Chains A and B, each alone.
Chain A
């Protein structure tokens, strides 16, 4: 199996600039076209362990990220994204090319992959139990996810939980973990050996860096997981660690609110989410100390209750 790391840098650049680099992420093949050096560097660093398909084959998504043309090449240069001819986003400053790439990779899945119930949630597995962490931005979801990943948890996704509609299995989509603002320093201190992309400042989400997904998680990207818990995390400075059981109907509504395509799926989404709620125990989780939270999750995965 060919990976990005197997491609000499010149070949990687030639594929991106020419027929497209076909990158496998979980169940998806992404054909990427780009002439932007920062993006090439980011892909070489964070996607080194991902499988690459032959340039000509089928791809689920066709993404193109290029420098804006004309005088914009020289004056405050920008990056433009297009997907199969459509341009759903405004151009961004060229320095934000790599975060934009990650956002558009997410966008393709959340807007196109309707054979899954897609929840805006991190999902990780330990001891054969998958824990789903749905949460709005600011809840500390990604920080918690990154910390767990550095302590041996299998990363299925930090952003999108894919629940297969027919059997409720969770499909892995391990990709780099997005860290914002103070989380970047927190994770650097928590796990000094991790690989992080260079922080990009002044994005509309603040400063962004991406944590490389563990190679072991990428290698198991075709191995589904069984969901055991749904935990709604909330970081609160100074708060003691608390875990509060949630009624299943309320957990259902909480997950539906955090799903990208629950409405799109209609009755199929209702049935799939009901099945997920049947299979899991749900909690609200409040924490302030990352270490305590990680130890707590270890016990939860080990004991199962």
Chain B
């Protein structure tokens, strides 16, 4: 299961499929693609595992169904590297 790091406000601005996000916990600003923002917003609503995220976001992404879980996994790892999300013990 993954969740947004507690306390993270997720302040972002999105233009034409690209976004900038102000990480108010680290003070850094990140350039993200719009897909990453979709993932963050879904996780802000409730913690989810990668497979459920893939199902929820399937109609938002232009990816083959079987490629999406791996792409979501990679994105979660990337967002965890930016201290925006963290995995929860199952």
Contacting residues, chain A, for B20 (C-beta < 8 A): 249, 252-253, 270, 274
B27, CB-defined interface residue at 8 Å: yes
Distance from A209 Cβ to chain B, minimum over Cβ atoms (Å): 37
Against B, the Cβ 8 Å flags (1 = close, 0 = not) of A235-254 are 00000000000011110110
Q: Is chain B's interface secondary structure helix, strand, loop, or mixed overall?
A: strand
Contacting residues, chain B, for A249 (C-beta < 8 A): 13-16, 18-20, 31
**B13 and A247: CB pair below 8 A?**
no
Contacting residues, chain A, for B13 (C-beta < 8 A): 249, 252, 274, 277
B29, CB-defined interface residue at 8 Å: yes
**B22 and A267: CB pair below 8 A?**
yes
Which of B11, B14, B16 makes the CB contact (< 8 A) with A270? B11
Knowing A248-B16, A252-B13, A253-B20 touch, does A266 contact B27 (C-beta < 8 A)?
A: yes
Against A, the Cβ 8 Å flags (1 = close, 0 = not) of B59-85 are 000000000000000000000000000
B38, CB-defined interface residue at 8 Å: no
A250 and B13 CA atoms in complex are apart in Å by: 12
Q: Which bucket holds chain A's interface residue count? A: 10 to 19
A203, CB-defined interface residue at 8 Å: no
Knowing A267-B22, A270-B22, A277-B15 touch, does A256 contact B29 (C-beta < 8 A)?
A: yes
Knowing A253-B20, A267-B24, A270-B22 touch, does A248 contact B31 (C-beta < 8 A)?
A: no
A267 and B14 CA atoms in complex are apart in Å by: 16
Which of A247, A266, A267, A270 makes the CB contact (< 8 A) with B15? A247
Closest 10 CB pairs of A and B: A249-B18, A248-B15, A270-B22, A274-B13, A252-B20, A253-B31, A249-B20, A247-B18, A249-B15, A256-B29
Interface residues of chain B, those whose CB is within 8 Å of chain A, are: 11, 13-16, 18-20, 22, 24, 27, 29, 31
| 23 pairs of residues in contact across A and B, judged by CB atoms under 8 Å | A247-B15, A247-B16, A248-B16, A249-B13, A249-B15, A249-B16, A249-B20, A250-B31, A252-B20, A252-B31, A253-B29, A253-B31, A256-B29, A263-B27, A266-B22, A266-B27, A267-B22, A267-B24, A270-B22, A270-B29, A274-B20, A277-B13, A277-B15
